Amino acid sequence: MALIHSLEKNGNFLFKYRGQIPIVLFAMAIPVVYFTNYQFIKNDDTLFWVLLIICSLISFIGQAIRAIAIGMSSKYTSGRNTKEQVADELNTKGIYSTVRHPLYLGNYFMWIGIVMYTFNFWFIILVSLLFWLYYERIMFAEERFLEKKFGSEYVDWSMTVPPFWPSGKNYVKTPIPFSMKTILRREYSGVTATIIGFIFVDLLRNFFEDYSLEWNSNYTIVLVVALSISLILRTLKHKTKLLFEEDRS
């Protein structure tokens, strides 16, 4: 099999299972937290809270990037596919005029914020490298699909827009208005998973320090609020028409 076809096949395979990335990260975090020395934050609450805020902001940036990409896209574009490559229109305006894969960029920031919360520099580097190797193949397969479907229209656009790190020099405003309904309908699970990720790292750190699981009341409050909002939005999505939009996925 030619390398180009091998990369495409691998990319399509990894595309189907990209939803399992959080599970892999959680598993990797266990030994990382165990072997990390947290003495530098044990007696410095201010430093801990500063680092927590920074990590949270980075994850929030990832969520914001995803929200912009999803909230200003029609249902006919590739942003709605979950199991296989699907696209009836090509996204070339708005955030897609600054970066070809904004959803994957958003994913990176969303998860690297949690990874940074382990306070392990080498883990951040490792996950960044693994993320690139994984998503590079997915992006390759997706771009092969789009090139086959849209031909020169896709090639001309891709020649002026970077694949992962944004550039605003060719920005083109999108005519599609931002839809908060789309965000509420599609992004609640990702936000909840991010919150669970931060709590998971915190629990691991406390457990390996004292070898006891101390459930903080703040965890309960945050989880109850996050899960309640997710349940409400999921119910509205599947049982009502309140979040339905004709021209959105």
For the chain, give the mean pLDDT.
86
Please report the DSSP string for 171-193 in residue order.
----SSPP-HHHHHHHSHHHHHH
Q: At CA 23, angle to CA 21 and CA 27, rounded to 5?
A: 115
* Per-residue confidence band for 81, with pLDDT thresholds at 50, 70 and 90: low
pLDDT of residue 88: 63
CATH number of 3-179: 1.20.120
Ordered by start, the domain boundaries in the chain are 3-179
Distance between start and end Cα atoms, the chain: 36
Question: 141-200: per-residue pLDDT in tens?
Answer: 888 888 888 888 888 888 999 988 999 888 989 888 888 888 888 888 888 999 999 999
Q: Enter the pTM of the model.
A: 0.87
The region that residue 214 occupies, defined by phi over 0 for left and psi between -120 and 50 for alpha, beta otherwise, is: beta
- Alpha carbon separation from 80 to 109, 177, 197 (Å, rounded): 20, 17, 24
pLDDT of residue 43: 83
Question: 116-153: per-residue pLDDT in tens?
Answer: 999 999 999 999 999 998 888 888 888 888 888 888 88
Question: 29-38: per-residue pLDDT in tens?
Answer: 999 999 999 9
Q: Do residues 21 and 103 make contact, with C-beta atoms less than 8 angstroms apart?
A: no
Q: Looking at the predicted structure, is the pLDDT value of residue 87 above 80?
A: no
